[in-house]
Amino acid sequence: MNTTKLHDVSFQLASEQEKRTHWKNGWRARSYPHYAAILLVALLIPATLRAADKPRVIATTDGEVDDRSSMIRFLLYTCDFDVAGIVEVNSKYQKKGHSAEHWIQEQLDAYAKVLPNLRKHNAAFPDADSLRRVMRVGNENVDDLYVAPPDMQTKDTAGEQLIIDTLLDNDPRPVHVLSWGGANTTASALWKLKTQYPKVKFDYAVSRIRIYCIWYQDGGGEWIQKNIPEAYINEAYQWDNVWDYESYDNARKENKPSANPPFVQEYMKPAWLDANIKQDHGPLGALTPQKYISEGDTPSFLHLVDNGLQAHVDYTLGGWGGRSVYDDPKYPNHISDKKITDDGDRNKMFWRWVPAAQNDFAARMDWCVKDFSEANHPPIVKLRGEPTCDVKPGDTVTLAADASDPDSDQLSCRWWHYADADSANEMLTIANSDSLDDASFVVPNEPGKQIQIILEVTDNGTPTLVSYQRLICNIK
Residue 64 has pLDDT above 80, yes or no: yes
User: What are the structural domains of the chain?
Assistant: 2-44+376-475 (2.60.40.10), 51-306+341-367 (3.90.245.10)
> In the structure, what pLDDT confidence band is assigned to residue 50 with cuts at 50, 70 and 90?
low
Ramachandran assignment for 235, one of left (phi > 0), alpha (psi -120 to 50 degrees), beta (any other): beta
Cis link prior to 463 (omega < 30° from 0)? yes
Cα separation of 120 and 79, whole Å?
12
* pLDDT tens digits, 72-89: 999 999 999 999 999 999
Using alpha carbons, select from 314, 334, 315 the residue that is nearest to residue 33. Answer: 314
Residue 166 has pLDDT above 50, yes or no: yes
Residue 419 has pLDDT above 50, yes or no: yes
Q: What is the pLDDT of residue 243?
A: 97
Q: What is the pLDDT of residue 1?
A: 34
Residue-wise DSSP of 103-168: HHHHHHHHHHHHHHHHTTT-TTPPPHHHHHTTEEE----GGGTTS-GGG-SS-S-HHHHHHHHHHH
Give the alpha-carbon dihedral of 380, 381, 387, 392, to 10 degrees: -170
0.85 exceeded by the pTM?
yes
Residue 46 has pLDDT above 50, yes or no: no
Range scoring the smallest mean pLDDT among 1-10, 41-50, 226-235, 270-279: 1-10
* pLDDT tens digits, 104-139: 999 999 999 999 999 999 999 999 999 999 999 999
Residue 465 has pLDDT above 60, yes or no: yes
